[in-house]
Amino acid sequence: MIRPLEHILIPLGLLAVGGLLGWSFFLAVTGDAGERLAPIALARVPDSGVSNPVTSVLLNFRAYDTLLEFAVLLAALLGIWSLGSSGTGFQPAASVLDGMVAGFVPLLILSAGYMLWVGAYAPGGAFQAGALLGSAGVMLALAGHRNAGLPSEGRLRILVGLGVFVCALTGLLLMLFGDGFLTYPAGFAKWLILTIETAATLAIGATLAAAYLGGRPAAHPTTGETA
Amino acid sequence: MIDALPLAVTLPLIGAFAVTVSPLHARGLGLMAAVLTVASALSVTATVWSDGVLRADLGGWGVPLGIALEADGLSAAFLAMANTVALAVSVYAGGYFKQESARHFWPLWLLLWSALNGLFLAADLFNLYVTLELLGLSAAALGAITGTREAVAANLRYLLVGLLGSMSYLLGVSLVYAAYGVLDIGLVAEAIEPGPIAWTAMTLMIGGLILKAALFPMHFWLPPAHANAPAPVSAALSALVVKAAFYLALRLWLDVFAPVLNEAAANLLGILGAAAVVWGSWRALRAERLKLLAAYSTVAQMGYLFIAFPLLAATPPGLARDNLLAAVVLLALTHGFAKAGFFLAAGMVQKTAGHDRIDDLGGAAQALPAATFAIGLAGVALIGLPPSGTFLAKWVMLEQAMILGLWWWLVVMMVGTLLAAAYIFRVLSRAFNREPTPYRFVNDARTELPALLLGLIATFGLGIAAQPLWVLLEQGAFG
């Protein structure tokens, strides 16, 4: 049986909206715009302290956006924590999975460090490195480690806020003693970006792993090793 | 060099980190961050007041490459209102939340505050999207903080609706960026031309924002979310968070899409606003609980703000339009103070009586004189009786509608005002039906005084002393 509303009108309406959006987008990209941002950004990459254009946009040209993104991640995790503590987790893994996890987790941590460093001149950076750290935590959780290898709540609270704190503090100090908020002085850009990215990698990794647990970490972890 | 613009955004962020790290001292640290944030935000408003538009190029790159923060009269006015209300909410929350919920409340609340200040000061379309995300996420998390089933369900819906709104806004931003290659509001305004791209982008962006501003018929998520949150959170959600979406819609309307506007779009917003006024007021009149009444009243009050769009579109630039714009802003600011005061006082009533059923409020006036007085004052401002700011604002709007010959907006506003009077007096009449017994006027200073002060500002402060707002709004950033 054909219900006219569900089978004809709504799909047709959605098609019309989609067509309109597609048409506008086509007009937008084929239209003759003035100078776009990408060439301007590429031209200034050498002044940004890093040679990877993505990193220079994220951590230098638009670092303020990234500061607020760190805050979004923190808000998401605090929201999860406000709803209660995590469940009991998975049962301990058998020897094969346990052995694999024992091998993979150090590799993931090592790759995260590499990703963080390589972000200066090639694809990589804090978000990718943090995702690798987070996945190490998820692996530990799947193998039955109750707190996904995360430290005690007191230290975890410092870790997850580190990205926001280091980035905001750097910005404020540069404003007080330098040229302006998040305005890196010449020659220091690379090291300031690396400092912020290191803090952000730890924060993102800890946040993702803690979010996977789905609640506040248990007070007394049954298996406590740090990832 | 101290630049108050980034301070107003970063101080609450640093505060959020501090209260996250030491949850045992959440209240003290949180209040300290609140005071510092208010000081920096009010200094922004004061500087705009005396020296004109403020601008900060973050990162030192300048537009179009970097992001700028900018405060003109409109942002400064909303910034001052939001930060004053937020300070009152913080003082109230210091007494309201006990140890366990306080440790969850403070970090999320400071993140929300940072998002609000960031939104009012942003001059970049994509940066505005990030502030909207932070605002929506922290608002939904705060609304669900009690953990009850109704609160979690209502706020999950709020979160999803908010995400849909942000996505729609982001789609509009990406269309603008694809077509014009810039994100700074001033540069986009220079580049934009009437045509299908601009119209689609405007529909997507303003459509997403009216979803977040709970304009009828997209208001369905608001009453359960606002009524089930703890009182200080309801106050912030109703007074500030929906107001931020309205501010952004107004900002885009005035500064970005001004060259491409047509009257049909303005009239559509006006008609939805009119429906919101009637429907919201009617549901408020029928509400059984005090906080649900306040939530539906927010739906109605947001409607008035959108009725301003057709009036603004029909008024030629000049003194009359400036007056009308100032009146709309005054209406939004007064509602912010009044609704926050109303929710804070309602929370006090709920905490003392153990419920907030309007029919069983007997004797509330005798038991809690200060809270009832605050509800009365906020009510005066919600109805629009003199000398409240709402009275002045509605007067200017009605006058302009009559001059333009658009009498139907006048009818809607009168009906809404009558209904508002009915639902406010319904509460007050229930509160006074017991023999007077000598109780103390103020029972709990920390929770009742903020509500009372907000009510006083809404009724007397903004009504009798509205003149500064006109001066402040002369500091336009874009002409």
For B338-379, give the DSSP string. Answer: HHHHHHHHHHHHHHHHS--BGGG-TTHHHH-HHHHHHHHHHH
Q: Pick A87 or B276 by higher pLDDT.
A: B276
Closest to B10 (Cβ–Cβ): which among A31, A75, A168?
A: A168
Whole-angstrom Cα distance, residue B364 to residue B368? Answer: 6
- Is there a contact between A161 and B14 if contact means CB atoms under 8 Å apart? no
Q: What is the pLDDT of residues B57-72, one digit of tens each?
A: 998 888 889 999 999 9
Q: Which two tokens stand for residue B390?
A: 């709402």
B402-421 burial, b at 16+ Cβ within 10 Å, e below that, comes to eeeebeebbebbeebbebbb
- Is there a contact between A181 and B58 if contact means CB atoms under 8 Å apart? yes
Whose CA is closest to B409, among B394, B421, B424? B394
Q: Does A3 touch chain B (CB under 8 A)?
A: no
Q: Does A23 touch chain B (CB under 8 A)?
A: yes
- Calculate Rg over the CA atoms of chain A: 22
Whose CA is closest to B400, among B271, B330, B307? B307
Whose CA is closest to A48, among A194, A186, A199, A200? A186
Of all residues in chain A, the percent with pLDDT exceeding 90 is 56
Task: Return mean pLDDT, chain A.
Answer: 88
Whole-angstrom Cα distance, residue B133 to residue B152? Answer: 19
Residue A222 has pLDDT above 50, yes or no: no
Domain that holds residue B316: 262-474
Q: Does A120 touch chain B (CB under 8 A)?
A: no
pLDDT given at position A226: 43
Whole-angstrom Cα distance, residue B237 to residue B229? Answer: 9
What is the nearest CA distance from A174 to chain B, expressed in angstroms? 9
Of all residues in chain B, the percent with pLDDT exceeding 70 is 97
Residue B356 has pLDDT above 80, yes or no: yes
Closest to A68 (Cβ–Cβ): which among B131, B140, B181?
A: B131
Tell me which DSSP letter residue B230 carries: -
Give residue A224's pLDDT band: very low, low, confident or very high (50, 70, 90): very low
- Is there a contact between B67 and A65 if contact means CB atoms under 8 Å apart? yes
Closest alpha carbon within chain B to A184: B59
- Is there a contact between B191 and A23 if contact means CB atoms under 8 Å apart? no
Tell me which DSSP letter residue B316 carries: P
- Is there a contact between A181 and B10 if contact means CB atoms under 8 Å apart? yes
Whose CA is closest to B58, among A68, A149, A21, A129? A68
Q: Give the contacts of A53 (CB within 8 A, at least 6 positions apart).
A: A41, A42, A45
Q: Which two tokens stand for residue B402?
A: 């009559």
pLDDT given at position A223: 45
Q: Does B58 touch chain A (CB under 8 A)?
A: yes
Residue B181 has pLDDT above 90, yes or no: no
pLDDT given at position B352: 83
Residue A181 has pLDDT above 80, yes or no: yes
Residues 60-89 on A with a CB inside 8 Å of B are 60-65, 67-69, 71-72, 74-76, 78-79, 81-84
Q: What is the pLDDT of residues B313-346, one digit of tens each?
A: 998 888 899 999 999 999 999 999 999 999 999 9
* C-beta atoms surrounding B152 within 10 Å: 17
Of all residues in chain B, the percent with pLDDT exceeding 90 is 66
Whose CA is closest to B135, among B119, B156, B115, B107? B115
Output phi, psi for A10, to 5 deg.
-65, -45
Task: Return mean pLDDT, chain B.
Answer: 90
Give residue B471's pLDDT band: very low, low, confident or very high (50, 70, 90): confident
Closest to A25 (Cβ–Cβ): which among B7, B175, B191?
A: B175
What is the nearest CA distance from A109 to chain B, expressed in angstroms? 25
- Tell me what the mean pLDDT of segment A68-96 comes to: 90
Residue B365 has pLDDT above 80, yes or no: no
Q: What is the pLDDT of residues B160-180, one digit of tens each?
A: 999 999 999 999 999 999 888
Contact (CB, 8 A) for A95 and B121: no
Picking from A17, A60, A64, A207 by the largest number of B CB atoms within 10 A of its own CB, the best residue to mutate is A64
Closest alpha carbon within chain A to B103: A82
Whole-angstrom Cα distance, residue B212 to residue B219? Answer: 9
- Tell me what the mean pLDDT of segment B128-153 comes to: 94
Range of lowest pLDDT (A99-108, B238-247, B449-458):
B449-458
Q: Does B146 touch chain A (CB under 8 A)?
A: no
Q: Which two tokens stand for residue A89?
A: 């987790």
The sign of the dihedral angle between the CA atoms of B377, B380, B384, B385 is negative
Whole-angstrom Cα distance, residue B206 to residue B250? Answer: 9
Q: If you search the block for the tokens 């103070």, which residue do you land on?
A: B337
- Is there a contact between A63 and B130 if contact means CB atoms under 8 Å apart? no
Q: Give the contacts of A128 (CB within 8 A, at least 6 positions apart).
A: A115, A119
Based on the structure, what is the number of domains in chain B?
1
- Is there a contact between A72 and B134 if contact means CB atoms under 8 Å apart? yes
- Calculate Rg over the CA atoms of chain B: 21
Contact (CB, 8 A) for B386 and B398: no
Is B300 contained in some domain? Answer: yes
All residues of chain B having their beta carbon less than 8 Å from the beta carbon of residue A25 are 175, 178
Closest alpha carbon within chain B to A216: B104
What is the nearest CA distance from B409 to chain A, expressed in angstroms? 31
Q: Pick A109 or B428 by higher pLDDT.
A: A109
All residues of chain B having their beta carbon less than 8 Å from the beta carbon of residue A174 are none
- H/E/C letters for each residue in chain A? CCCHHHHHHHHHHHHHHHHHHHHHHHHHHHCCCCCCHHHHHHHHHHHHCCCCHHHHHHHHHCHHHHHHHHHHHHHHHHHHHHCCECCCCCCCCCHHHHHHHHHHHHHHHHHHHHHHHHCCCCCCCHHHHHHHHHHHHHHHHHCCCCCCCCCCHHHHHHHHHHHHHHHHHHHHHHHHHCCCCCCCCCCCHHHHHHHHHHHHHHHHHHHHHHHHHCCECCCCCCCCCCC
pLDDT given at position B436: 54
Q: Pick B475 or B9 by higher pLDDT.
A: B9
pLDDT given at position B433: 66
What is the nearest CA distance from A84 to chain B, expressed in angstroms? 8
Provide the residue type at B416 as one letter: G
- Is there a contact between B147 and A180 if contact means CB atoms under 8 Å apart? no
- Is there a contact between B10 and A171 if contact means CB atoms under 8 Å apart? yes
Range of lowest pLDDT (A113-117, A215-219, B198-202):
A215-219
Output phi, psi for A197, to 5 deg.
-65, -35
Closest to B60 (Cβ–Cβ): which among A37, A78, A180?
A: A180
Whole-angstrom Cα distance, residue B343 to residue B228? Answer: 12
Coil, strand, or helix at residue B416?
A: helix
CA angle, residues B231, B454, B55, in degrees to nearest 5: 100
Whole-angstrom Cα distance, residue B423 to residue B293? Answer: 8
Q: Where are the alpha helices (DSSP H) in B237-318?
A: 242-251, 263-286, 290-314
Provide the residue type at A141 as one letter: A
CA angle, residues A135, A138, A140, in degrees to nearest 5: 115
- Tell me what the mean pLDDT of segment A13-38 comes to: 82
Closest to B111 (Cβ–Cβ): which among A41, A62, A71?
A: A71
Provide the residue type at B300 as one letter: A
Closest to A65 (Cβ–Cβ): which among B57, B127, B191?
A: B127
pLDDT given at position A34: 62
Q: Which two tokens stand for residue B389?
A: 């700011």
Q: Does B13 touch chain A (CB under 8 A)?
A: yes
The torsion of the CA quartet A22, A28, A31, A36, rounded to 10 degrees, works out to -150
Contact (CB, 8 A) for A67 and A167: yes
pLDDT given at position B247: 97
- Tell me what the mean pLDDT of segment B278-295 comes to: 93
Q: Pick B366 or B158 by higher pLDDT.
A: B158
pLDDT given at position A31: 75
Closest alpha carbon within chain A to B187: A34
Residue A91 burial (C-beta neighbours within 10 Å; 0-12, 13-18, 19+): exposed
Picking from A74, A83, A153, A155 by the largest number of B CB atoms within 10 A of its own CB, the best residue to mutate is A74
Q: Does A158 touch chain B (CB under 8 A)?
A: yes
Q: Does B237 touch chain A (CB under 8 A)?
A: no
Is B369 contained in some domain? Answer: yes
Give residue B445's pLDDT band: very low, low, confident or very high (50, 70, 90): confident
Give residue B53's pLDDT band: very low, low, confident or very high (50, 70, 90): very high
- Tell me what the mean pLDDT of segment B25-31 comes to: 93
CA angle, residues A130, A131, A134, in degrees to nearest 5: 85
Give residue A196's pLDDT band: very low, low, confident or very high (50, 70, 90): very high
Contact (CB, 8 A) for B94 and B100: no
- Tell me what the mean pLDDT of segment A55-60 comes to: 92
Q: Pick B476 or B96 by higher pLDDT.
A: B96
Q: If you search the block for the tokens 């001149």, which residue do you land on?
A: A121
pLDDT given at position A145: 86
Residues 25-44 on A with a CB inside 8 Å of B are 25, 27-29, 31, 33-37, 40-41, 44
All residues of chain B having their beta carbon less than 8 Å from the beta carbon of residue A69 are 130
DSSP B150-218: HHHHHHHHHHHHHHHHHHHHHHHHHHHHHHHS--BHHHHHHH--SSHHHHHHHHHHHHHHHHHTT-TTT
- Is there a contact between A79 and B137 if contact means CB atoms under 8 Å apart? yes
ipTM for the predicted complex comes to: 0.91
Residue A221 has pLDDT above 60, yes or no: no
Provide the residue type at B184 as one letter: D
What is the nearest CA distance from B162 to chain A, expressed in angstroms? 14
pLDDT given at position B8: 95
What is the nearest CA distance from A181 to chain B, expressed in angstroms? 6
Q: Does A107 touch chain B (CB under 8 A)?
A: no
Whole-angstrom Cα distance, residue A111 to residue A108? Answer: 5
